[in-house]
Structure 1
Amino acid sequence: MTTHRIKLPYPSPPLHANQRLVRQARDRVIAEVRRDAGWLVKAAKVGRHERVTVGLEWRPKVNRRRDGAENLAPLLKPLIDGMVDVGVTSDDTPELVERRMPVLLPAGKGEPGMWFVVETP
């Protein structure tokens, strides 16, 4: 199994469950994330696969009370869609794409950032 840990260009999550964006603003952010994910997955040379496992990791700059990693789930969907757009899998159905719960890493134990994790057979 090969793990591709793809660094995302966002210092903080551009989409999360606690946001209250108007539809047009939300659609614009989703389109940007989807486009970014496609280019980054292509640059990482993930290739085409029958089945993949995906996840999201975020290490914030500072430790403070955070709601939980499940708030990052809205960001995972456009990342997966961008991956499908460039042909890593033919669709994003559960049979082809296994989703893992996002992970919130502790601050101060490495470089802050956000990573899209794609595991291929």
Structure 2
Amino acid sequence: MADGEWHFDFDWAKPPLSLNYRMHHMQAAKLTKEIRGLMHARARVLPTMARCEVVLTWFVSTRTRRDDENPVPTLKALCDGLVDAEIVPDDTHEFMVKRMPVIVYRRGEPASMRLTIRDIGEEA
């Protein structure tokens, strides 16, 4: 981990929330709350930041084609958890730069997800 950069690993084989999932809104709300709460609890080790950059990486073990934007709802819930933990005041661009999720093939390794948070200070 580089100075000013933190990694949070999740053992999710696929995003808990996806643009492709067709679930009842109450089920989606429950999952969103769980993800936000998990990130809130894990983010307590982070310092308060003026601005940060976040990247969600989905490590996959097969070469099945996947759309990069499908994990965005999971990324959004994780970012809301960072705000809940008061790491940044809001998840708007003024305080948080959210990069498009990245999908990385890793042969022979279990699928998982990683949220990388980088303190970018007062950059605009």
Q: TM-score, length-normalised on structure 2?
A: 0.87
Instruction: Indicate the residue corresponding to 2:95 in structure 1.
Output: 96
Deviation digits for residues 21-78 of structure 1, max 9, x if unmatched?
1111010110011111111222xx2210110001100012322222x11111111111
Whether contact under 8 Å (1:84, 1:91) holds in the other structure is yes
* Structure-1 separation of matches of 2:108 and 2:11: 19
Match of 1:117, as an amino acid?
Answer: T
Match of 1:95, as an amino acid?
Answer: E
Offset, 1:107 = 2.9
Aligned positions, number: 118
* Structure-2 separation of matches of 1:20 and 1:107: 28
* Structure-1 separation of matches of 2:68 and 2:81: 21
Q: CA RMSD in A?
A: 1.6
* Structure-2 separation of matches of 1:99 and 1:84: 13
Identity %: 27
Match of 2:41, as an amino acid?
Answer: W
Whether contact under 8 Å (1:50, 1:96) holds in the other structure is yes
Match of 1:35, as an amino acid?
Answer: G
Instruction: Indicate the residue corresponding to 2:4 in structure 1.
Output: 2
Once the two structures are superposed, the pairs formed by residues 19-98 of structure 1 within 5 Å of their partners are 19-42=21-44, 45-66=45-66, 68-98=67-97
* Structure-2 separation of matches of 1:111 and 1:57: 14
* Structure-2 separation of matches of 1:48 and 1:110: 34
